[in-house]
């Protein structure tokens, strides 16, 4: 991404005769792929930038120069894990797909959105940490391990899909295994 850094003081932020202190104008980043979600202009500027997701991403707070809309973007490395499905197909690791699965399992459960984000980040980091290939089975087991720690109902919901439960007996066996593990 190319960047254009503008120095100087923002004239609307104060100066002589103003009650507000002068502040540096945020960096303006010219990017053909970053459009304002409200007015679709490409003229946006970064007003805050910080690490996110345990350093795996950069969170940028942006402001549209044209309409003033503020929005958040995340920048992640393009290099990611490849998931090998049960049937042998390969597809790129999709953190949003993982998030949706967790949100479905945790629907109406007392677990915060932040906890879901933390789980997604841990699993993604683990998936990227070894070789670039990870099996869907490894991902499923990682999700089950995380859910077992925070919510047994969500664990059973996810397990019922992941392990392809066919009836109540399957739930009973899984509940018994949970109780045995403590």
Q: How many domains does the chain have?
A: 2
Same domain, 97 and 155: yes
Q: Whole domain around residue 39: which residue ranges? A: 11-76
Q: Say yes or no: 68 and 153 in one domain.
A: no
> Are residues 170 and 127 both part of a single domain?
yes
Residue range 140-172, pLDDT digits in tens: 899 989 988 888 888 888 888 888 888 888 888
Would you list the DSSP string of the chain? ---B---SB-GGG--TT-SSPP-BPPPB---TT---TTT--S-EEEEEEEEEGGGTEEEEEEEETTT--EEEEEEE-S---EEE-TTS-EEE--HHHHHHHHHHHTTTSS--HHHHHHHHHHHHHHHHHS-SEEEHHHHHHHHHHHHHHH-HHHHHHHHHHHTT--SHHHHHHHHHHHHHH-
State pLDDT tens for residues 30-54: 444 588 889 988 889 999 999 887 6
51 & 108 share domain: no
């Amino acid at each position: 991404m190319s960047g254009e850094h503008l120095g100087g003081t923002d004239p609307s932020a104060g100066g002589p005769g103003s009650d507000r202190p002068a502040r540096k104008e945020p960096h303006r980043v010219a990017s053909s792929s970053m459009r304002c979600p409200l007015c679709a202009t490409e003229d946006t500027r970064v007003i805050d930038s910080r690490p996110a997701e345990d350093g795996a991403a950069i969170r940028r707070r942006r402001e549209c120069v044209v309409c003033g809309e503020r929005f958040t973007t995340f920048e992640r490395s393009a290099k990611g894990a490849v998931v090998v499905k049960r049937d042998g197909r390969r597809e790129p690791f999709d953190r949003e797909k993982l998030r949706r699965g967790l949100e479905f399992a945790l629907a109406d459960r007392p677990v915060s959105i932040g906890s879901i984000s933390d789980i997604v980040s841990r699993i993604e980091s683990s998936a990227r940490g070894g070789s670039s290939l990870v099996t869907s089975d490894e991902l499923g087991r990682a999700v089950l391990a995380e859910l077992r720690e925070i919510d047994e109902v969500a664990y059973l919901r996810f397990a019922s899909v992941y392990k392809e439960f066919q009836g109540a007996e399957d739930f009973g066996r899984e509940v018994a295994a949970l109780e045995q593990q403590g």
